[in-house]
Copies of this chain bind each other. A is one copy, B any other.
Amino acid sequence: MSYANDMPTVEKVVRSDAGLASELRLSVMRLRRRLAVERHPDNELSINQMSVLGVLARRGAMSVGELATAERVQPPSMTRTVNCLEESGDVVKRPHETDRRQIVVEISEQGRGRVAADRDRRDAWLARCLLELTPAERAILRRAAPILDNLAQKD
């Protein structure tokens, strides 16, 4: 398995499997920290709120508990996030039709508009960085993203 010809920019490669876990963990933490800083200034929603809004836009209305599971967060945390989104008018809460314990959260028209309007701009920084990479590097990240997400979903 020779990759030498299509990785001109980044030479450093983590070799051992033991080290991979460490390196990957640190890389993910640093990049996340970097990303948290880069949100668009005229967007008053946090990255977590936008993430939840994105889930609702993609997968449709769901309960608070389902949202918490999807984002790998405890229910109280999601309650707070959802409350913020309701306050800003980006989601609406309504009771579940049959099970009145549950609260169904649905993205509002404003929220959907925000997602649509923001989609192109909110990733500006990362997208710009990605353009500076080589096509081969982008290809690696394109394949790595779903693997990372898979890891995040493991028990």
Contact = CB atoms under 8 A, between A and B. Distances in A.
Task: State the oligomeric state as a number of copies.
Answer: 2
A21 interface: yes
Interface string A111-127: 00000000110110011
Contact of A24 (B23, B25, B126): B126
B54 A26 contact: yes
Given A123-B22, A127-B21, A30 B146 contact: no
A141 to B, nearest CB: 6
Interface stretch (A4-12, A79-87, A98-106): A4-12
Contacts of A28: 28, 31-32, 35, 148
Contact of A27 (B20, B48, B146): B146
Contact of A35 (B6, B29, B126): B29
A120 to B, nearest CB: 7
A34 to B, nearest CB: 4
Interface of A: 1, 3, 6-7, 9-10, 12-15, 17-18, 20-35, 47-48, 51, 54, 71-73, 119-120, 122-123, 126-127, 129-133, 135-154
